[in-house]
Amino acid sequence: MPSITRSSRASVFGPYIYLVRMAVLSLLVLGISRIALVGWNYDRVMAAGNPGSIFFQGVRADIILVCLWLLIPVLCAPLFAWSRWATIWFKGTYIWCLIGLISILFMELATPAFLMQFDSRPNRLFIEYLKYPQEVLSTLWHGFRLPFISGLLLTILLGYGLHCLLRLPTPSLALWSPAKNLLVWPLVFVAVFMGIRSTTAHRPANPALFAITSDSMVNSLIINSGYSVLYALYSMKHEARSSEIYGKLSTHEMLQYSLDWPWLKTYQFNHSEYPTLHHQSAAFTHDKPLNLVIILQESMGATFVKSLGGVAVTPELEKLAEEGIWFEHLYATGTRSVRGIEAVVSGFPPTPAQSVVKLSNSQNNLATIASVLQSAGYQTQFIYGGEAHFDNMRGFFTNNGFQDIVDIKKIANPVFVASWGASDEDLFNTAQRELNTLHKAGKPFFSLIFTSSNHAPFEFPDNRITLFEQPKNTANNAVKYADWAMGRFIEQAKQSDYWKNTVFLIVADHDNRVYGNNLIPVEKFQIPGLILGADIKPSKISMLGSQIDLAPTLLSLMGISTCHPMIGRDFASDRESPGRAILQFEDYFALMEQDKITILKPDQTAVIAHYNEQKKILDISGHASETEMKRALAHVQLPSYLYRERRYPNVPDCYRRK
């Protein structure tokens, strides 16, 4: 190691010399690797489109990884980048940077073999296989011997080369003066912090930000393998066996209780690999396939619907309720947008873990209404006024059936842009243009439209509505504006050529602030739901329903007979059976039935409660029986099992696998 100068005279990079070199070398390694991988998969990259953005966005992802690795030494600099610790500091940062460089190199060299096997960069599977070293080493030796040996040799040789570059001759390693050190450190910290965040938006960047094509493999090329694995490792802490905080059933009991509903009795569940996969026969038939448009309303719960016991700020929705199928007792599965997306789009029940929208196991081949319709020849699309990578929506959608993503970047000349994106009227204006375009293309289509104006800080354009209250930026006013924009869109849709051949669902993702004194604030889970358009006849559904019932009901109304693993109720075929709803609130899980609610607590106990809808009171009457507890436990354990074992795929043909 070069000599260390302890005087106040310092080199340009002072104590950060090895950190700067490591950053430059890492970006070179990652850039060269990406160029090679793109060249290797040139045809797929070009077919996916947007090749220029692959490299531009790739650099952003590379900077995130490099800054993550540099964060620890940068945080340590104020403590150790001083004369008395000079030797320790420079040796320590050199070793840390060399480890980082070799790790990055190793992951990139491991990528081609993994890509050939799994059509993706190393991800969650890469981590999982580390649990089985004997099997993995045996597989590598017998199936990938040449790539395995070549990778190890290249790691050693190129690692030595990186060591030499990191240790390029330097006359002396010099520290800065104490004053300069203290003045510069905050700037270095902010630079590294912003490099990790990679955006000034509400949420830091995540892999979904880089899902810019409809090809999941191409999207994986945009990020780097180190970042892919680190993010998968981070996500894993939220998944897998989250439901076991309530207890555990055998797989047989879990399936027995969770499939014990009247509307499921007519289905045949005879696939051992996919235990909930079944064929659903549509209740209706049509001369030609119907289109589907789902309007997912941000935070527009029953709190804002007068006929459901709320404030009178949704006159357009209430007027439309007379024209379609209106759900009088529909409940959300959770309190977050991703939970609503999970239920409405995938028919997937909730667990204490994060929504499958964000979890790694569900980022490919998870059944959604989009993947089912795509298999049936539909064009599929997601339209959002904000940034589609938020909450991993872009990544989840593009890898699970959605072919086109339209977000704020594609909204032309918005009249109003708020903190969460373009206003709802801009969103719906864009949606109207997109739907007309899809209709003219001649293929049936499915479009998911997700609003955002009713989100704190409740920003929307002036002079659109008569304010419900003062000041302007309140939830009630924002909901009234969102309702106005939605009603305006439906009126335009009615005048459009696609209206007579399109089914519309208007539903909330969840209510707004979920609060209350009840163990579970049941009243804040109730949401409006309305199906209209095409040849839908007006009616009211008084039975208890859940968001997970909507996808099967829509498929049936559209005349789509198909196979899927969704266990929701088809209200088009069965309106007589007693209903149920499934609620996840923080660490509490509830199975809500017509006459009772079974609530599972994280201490593996369960209670029975009764809900008074008029008074919005939840009365806990005592402990649940063993059968009641098992029945509820089965419904929270099932989705955890289906997710963990990857048993919720899109399999349009039930007879393809048995």
Task: Count CA within 13 A, CB hemisphere, residue 379.
Answer: 14
CA torsion, points 490, 491, 493, 499, in degrees to nearest 10?
90
Identify residue 130 by its one-letter amino acid code: L
> What integer pLDDT is reported at residue 236 of this predicted model?
63
> What integer pLDDT is reported at residue 620 of this predicted model?
86
Could you give phi then psi for residue 39, rounded to 5 degrees?
Answer: -60, -40
∠ at Cα 528 (575, 343), nearest 5°? Answer: 75
Rounded CA-CA distance 243/643 in Å is 11
Cα four-point dihedral sign 203, 33, 123, 40: positive
CATH classification of 242-517+524-644, choosing from 3.20.20.70, 2.60.120.260, 3.40.720.10, 3.40.1440.60? 3.40.720.10
**What Å distances lie between residue 440 and 66, 263, 532, 555, 627, CA to CA?**
47, 38, 22, 23, 54
DSSP notation for 478-494: HHHHHHHHHHHHHHHHH
- Asked if 435 and 504 touch (Cβ cutoff 8 Å), the reply is no
What does DSSP say about strands 562-564 and 278-280: parallel, antiparallel, or unpaired? Answer: antiparallel
Positions in the chain whose pLDDT score sits under 50: 6-10, 657-658
> What integer pLDDT is reported at residue 163 of this predicted model?
85
CB-based burial of residue 232 (10 Å sphere; 0-12 exposed, 13-18 middle, 19+ buried)?
buried
Rounded CA-CA distance 30/67 in Å is 14
Query: Which tens digits make up the pLDDT trace of 545-554?
Result: 999 999 999 9
> What integer pLDDT is reported at residue 8 of this predicted model?
41
Rounded CA-CA distance 431/332 in Å is 25
Sheet-wide strand order for 588-593: 580-585, 588-593, 597-600, 606-612, 617-623
Instruction: Dig out the tokens for 427 from the structure.
Output: 């969103």
Quote the radius of gyration of the chain (alpha carbons, Å): 27
**What Å distances lie between residue 528 and 21, 273, 401, 537, 594, CA to CA?**
57, 36, 26, 18, 18
Q: Which helix (H) or strand (E) holds 633?
A: helix 626-644
CB-based burial of residue 156 (10 Å sphere; 0-12 exposed, 13-18 middle, 19+ buried)?
exposed
What does DSSP say about strands 539-541 and 325-331: parallel, antiparallel, or unpaired? Answer: parallel
Rounded CA-CA distance 244/241 in Å is 6
> What integer pLDDT is reported at residue 352 of this predicted model?
85
In the chain, which residues fall in CATH 3.40.720.10?
242-517+524-644
> What integer pLDDT is reported at residue 657 of this predicted model?
47
CB-based burial of residue 621 (10 Å sphere; 0-12 exposed, 13-18 middle, 19+ buried)?
exposed
> What integer pLDDT is reported at residue 149 of this predicted model?
86
DSSP notation for 146-190: HHHHHHHHHHHHHHHHHHHHHT---S-EEPPPHHHHHHHHHHHHH
> What integer pLDDT is reported at residue 214 of this predicted model?
62
> What integer pLDDT is reported at residue 7 of this predicted model?
44
Cα four-point dihedral sign 460, 462, 463, 469: positive
Q: Name every residue whose Cβ is closer than 8 Å to that of residue 356 and which is 6 or more positions away in sequence.
A: 342, 346, 348, 362, 366, 396, 639, 643
Task: Give the SS3 label for residue 635.
Answer: helix
Rounded CA-CA distance 572/281 in Å is 11
CB-based burial of residue 276 (10 Å sphere; 0-12 exposed, 13-18 middle, 19+ buried)?
buried
Task: Count CA within 13 A, CB hemisphere, residue 265.
Answer: 6
Rounded CA-CA distance 514/16 in Å is 47
Query: Which tens digits make up the pLDDT trace of 491-544?
Result: 999 999 999 999 999 999 999 877 666 778 899 999 999 999 998 999 999 999
> What integer pLDDT is reported at residue 6 of this predicted model?
47
For the chain, the helix, strand and coil percentages under 3-state DSSP, each to the nearest 5: 50, 15, 35
> What integer pLDDT is reported at residue 544 of this predicted model?
96
Q: What is the DSSP letter of 47?
A: H
Task: Give the SS3 label for residue 394.
Answer: helix
Whether omega before 457 lies within 30 degrees of 0, making that bond cis, reads: yes
- Asked if 202 and 390 touch (Cβ cutoff 8 Å), the reply is yes
Instruction: Dig out the tokens for 31 from the structure.
Output: 């850039």
**What Å distances lie between residue 71 and 23, 38, 620, CA to CA?**
12, 29, 49
